[in-house]
Amino acid sequence: MSSDLQRHLVRLCEDDWLLFNGLILVHAPGSVFPTAEIDHLVIAPFGIFVIETKHWAGAVTSGATNDELMLATLDGQRVARTSPLKQNASKVRFIKGLIPPRLWLVEGLGVFSHGACTVDPVLPATLLERGELYRHLRMRQQQFARTKIARLPVQKIAEAVMRHADTRPEALAEHRQRIEEGRARKQI
């Protein structure tokens, strides 16, 4: 997924973009879950994209609520899953809060990276099959160009985000351990 994103960004922006993979943000210090993992954070001159990647195989359709999706797996099972858009919502809000209030696009995307995944067309347009990502970014770039807003300061936005990042090598393992402990407490 990361190499696809890099290829798309070079094509769209040449060298004026940044991509962070597996970024751990400290978004709620002092809380039970103070960190959030962002699979991919794209900072481009036309927008900021918080991407939640799922490697699901099968057909993705609507669930019982807007926060849930149904996955019909290739072996015929039907499994309810949390929508990547729901998983991304607090991360998108946090990123929006880091930058000055402007007309800049900060968008959460759910990208299904498995080649054998299809997304029901009635689902939000920000839930994408892997092959749809380039076109989505291209459309956002064209929409931004029509606004006549100056290009986003990629490096300054990255600096604002990185002030809240935990870049220690053990940060991801600690984050995932907190999640597992939280799940274990729910099962008790």
Phi, psi angles (nearest 5°) of residue 117: -115, 135
Q: With both helix axes pointing from N to C terminus, report the angle between 154-162 and 84-98 in degrees, rounded to the nearest 10.
A: 100
- 102-134 pLDDT per residue, tens: 778 999 999 999 999 999 999 999 999 999 999
The pTM assigned to this predicted structure is 0.93
Q: Kindly give the pairing relationship between strand 68-73 and strand 58-62.
A: antiparallel
- 62-71 pLDDT per residue, tens: 999 999 999 9
Band of residue 136 on the pLDDT scale cut at 50, 70, 90: very high
Domains by residue range for the chain, with CATH: 2-175 (3.40.1350)
- 81-107 pLDDT per residue, tens: 999 999 999 999 999 998 877 778 999
Tokens standing for residue 89: 């919502």
